[in-house]
Structure 1
Amino acid sequence: MKRIVPVNSSGDLKSFIDFPHTLYKNDKSYVPELFIAQQDMLTPGKHPFYEHSEVKLFLAYEGEEIVGRIAAIFNTNHNAFTERNDGFFGFFDTINDQETVNLLLKEASGWLREKGADTVWGPVNLSTNDTCGLLIEGFDRPPVAMMPYNAPYYQQLLENAGLVKKTDLFAYEITTESVNDRSVRLMDALETRLKRSGIVIRPIDLKKFKEEVVKIREVYNSAWDKNLGFVPMTENEFNYLAKDLKMILDPDFCLVAEKDNKLIGFILGIPDINQILIKIKKGRLLPTGIFKLLFGKKNIKGLRVLTLGVVEDYRKLGIEACLYGRVIKNGRTKGIKTAECSWMLEDNYLINHAIEQINGKLYKKYRLYEKAI
């Protein structure tokens, strides 16, 4: 007999976070999330998301064994920005069993209806500014930093439960061997041309990190405001993310475009720390995980380019090509072998074409689902 139990204690939360470790214990592509980061993300008062929105966590049991989990997420800021009544589900994991999935979605949807939602979509953890999407293609490789992973059977289970495609998210892989050098070769000429217009490309200044973060947030909230599912990040949310990223940030992969001391674009690449996390059992840094993280960073050969944005009035001037070109050039110098550009909306033809032009290969697809509730 299966039953759904709300997460009400620290012990329940630990079980919620640890369930995927058991589910994927024999899956070589699974990368455990850091326990402390997940704990903070799912605890009101520790993550700034809860300053404006609510989350309810549920576990599915069969007897005394956990067989699934789900988070129901009511994002007040998203609904205010989009003028909709959406609910979200996330942190979704399950055994290959339709009854379990149906029960989890029913419980999450019921809670969201009580909050006023008439649609549920996901998976999203906690918003589209965080990890989101269901992996539907590309199961043969582990995910890169801050990208999700799930078993292939999830897709059929969700579709059997009545969820339908909302959109697909693309992940492209670029290797140093196959990359088209055109953007690198043209970079100097493009930058010279941009300078004549007063536009400069430079690395982020870590000595003025707080000031830089304020400027980058303005560009982020401006450049992505028309994207599906986008919701502006609050100051506290952006600072929270920036604080975490600063620990692994390399200025050679975080570049900004500036005109008259005003930021008009930026690109952010981060080392693929999943190459280390995959070796850290159950995402615990203690007692030995922290040493794997600290000493393994120098051996990382992968990069994830997770954001590239230029404010609307400055697009199609070559800024994007310069940012990409500089990251590629710096990556080669530092021994990076592969880079993933993710995620991209399937209908973002401009940026997808730009990646394909430098021989980026579409190698993973993720899907967002929706359903009326």
Structure 2
Amino acid sequence: MKRVEPVTTKAQLEAFIDFPHDLYKDDPCYVPELFIAQRDLLTPGKHPFHEHSPVQLFLAYDKDKVVGRIAAILNKNHNTFNKTEDGFFGFFDAVNDGEINALLFQQAEQWLRDKGARTIIGPANFSTNETCGLLIAGFDTPPFAMMTYNKEYYESLLNQIGFRKKVDLIAYRFGEDGYDDKSVRVKKALLDRLQSKGITIRPVIKKNFEHEVARIREVYNSAWDRNLGFVPMTEKEFDYLAKDMKMILDTDFCLVAEKDGKAIGFALAIPDINQLLINIKRGRLLPFGLFKLLFGLKKINGIRVIALGVMEGYRKLGIEACFYGTIIEAYRRKKFKRAEASWILEDNDLMNNALLHVKGVPHKRYRIFEKAI
């Protein structure tokens, strides 16, 4: 008997987190999420998202076997900021079974309708500030850090029940030498010109991390506010994310642009921690996963450029090029072999053209879907 139940117990939450490990057990590109991180993310009182927005998890069963999962998410901050009545789905995984898929979404959609949502959008875990998007092209390699991965048949499952494309997100790949280094060559001249305007670029100072994070949050919530689906992060949400980032942060890849001491832009690239997580069985750090993580950090040979933004009024002055040049210099110095810039909205012509100009190769495509409910 196939059925769907809301997650109400710790045992069900554990099953919800662990289901993908079984579904993808024979997939060489699957990277398990860390159990403790997923548990905290999904637990009210642990992650600050739950302070302003309700989430309901559901599990699908075939007899007593878990065969699917989904989260229904009512992001109140998103709806207030964008003046919409949207609901979201996330953490979606399922066997290739149309009946199971339909049952999962029926429950999620009904829960959202009961709370006043008119549209369901996703996948988003919980919003575009976290991991989001369904992989629809580029299944031949594992995802970079903090990017999603899924079965190829998911797109068909969503189309079968009426979901349609909202927007695509593009990931660009760079090899060891496969990039244009013009930004490195012109960096000194650009920095001199910026300095004459009172603008400087420097690495984040870890010793002053809390103060740095507060200033970067202001830039983030300003520089990305016109992106589709954007919602400002609360202070607690940004601090939570920053705390996780700090553990793997390399300040050579975390840069701040300042004008007379005020932060006006920042760039962040993170080590591709997925190179290590792919070997952490079922996402458990104990008893041996922690050692793999700690001793493997120096072996990482890739980065993901996760954010690069400048506040309006300071764009096209050369700050972006200086960010790229500085990151490329560090990439060379550390002898890294690969990089990804992701994700970029398909209609963000400025960023897409810039990445193509420096010889970025589009190698993965993710899709956000929507449906009226």
Q: TM-score, normalised on structure 2? A: 0.99
Amino acid of the structure 2 residue aligned with 1:74: L
What's the Cα RMSD here? 0.6
- Identity among equivalent positions (%) equals 63
Residue 236 of structure 1 corresponds to which residue in structure 2? 236
Hey, what's the Cα distance between the residues in 2 that align with 1:211 and 1:224?
21
Q: Is 1:191 paired with 2:188?
A: no
Residue 248 of structure 1 corresponds to which residue in structure 2? 248
**Alpha-carbon deviation of 1:9?**
0.4
Q: Which residues of 2 match residues 199-348 of structure 1 at below 5 A?
A: 199-348=199-348
Q: Is 1:125 paired with 2:125?
A: yes
Residue 363 of structure 2 corresponds to which residue in structure 1? 363
**Alpha-carbon deviation of 1:188?**
1.1
Hey, what's the Cα distance between the residues in 2 that align with 1:146 and 1:136?
17
Hey, what's the Cα distance between the residues in 1 that align with 2:184 and 2:269?
17
Deviations 1:193-217 (A, max 9, x none): 1111111010001111011000000
- Where 2:186 maps in the other structure, the secondary structure is helix
- Where 2:68 maps in the other structure, the secondary structure is strand
Deviations 1:27-83 (A, max 9, x none): 000000000000000000000001100100000000111110000000010000001
Hey, what's the Cα distance between the residues in 2 that align with 1:100 and 1:140?
27
Hey, what's the Cα distance between the residues in 1 that align with 2:336 and 2:170?
21
Hey, what's the Cα distance between the residues in 1 that align with 2:178 and 2:331?
14
**Alpha-carbon deviation of 1:363?**
0.3
Residue 102 of structure 1 corresponds to which residue in structure 2? 102
Hey, what's the Cα distance between the residues in 2 that align with 1:5 and 1:227?
35
Residue 138 of structure 1 corresponds to which residue in structure 2? 138
Residue 168 of structure 1 corresponds to which residue in structure 2? 168
Hey, what's the Cα distance between the residues in 2 that align with 1:54 and 1:236?
16
- Where 1:312 maps in the other structure, the secondary structure is coil
Amino acid of the structure 1 residue aligned with 2:306: L
Hey, what's the Cα distance between the residues in 2 that align with 1:193 and 1:341?
27
Alignment gaps of 5+ in structure 2: none
- Where 1:168 maps in the other structure, the secondary structure is strand
Hey, what's the Cα distance between the residues in 2 that align with 1:40 and 1:34?
10
- Where 1:162 maps in the other structure, the secondary structure is coil
Residue 179 of structure 1 corresponds to which residue in structure 2? 179
Q: Which moved more, 1:183-192 or 1:360-369?
A: 183-192
Amino acid of the structure 1 residue aligned with 2:260: D
**Moved >6 Å (runs of 4+):** none
Residue 30 of structure 1 corresponds to which residue in structure 2? 30
Hey, what's the Cα distance between the residues in 1 that align with 2:321 and 2:354?
8
**Alpha-carbon deviation of 1:181?**
1.2
- Where 2:29 maps in the other structure, the secondary structure is coil
Q: Which moved more, 1:352-361 or 1:129-138?
A: 352-361
- Where 1:241 maps in the other structure, the secondary structure is helix
**Alpha-carbon deviation of 1:176?**
2.6
- Where 1:128 maps in the other structure, the secondary structure is coil
Q: TM-score, normalised on structure 1? A: 0.99
Give aligned pairs, total.
Answer: 373
**Alpha-carbon deviation of 1:221?**
0.1
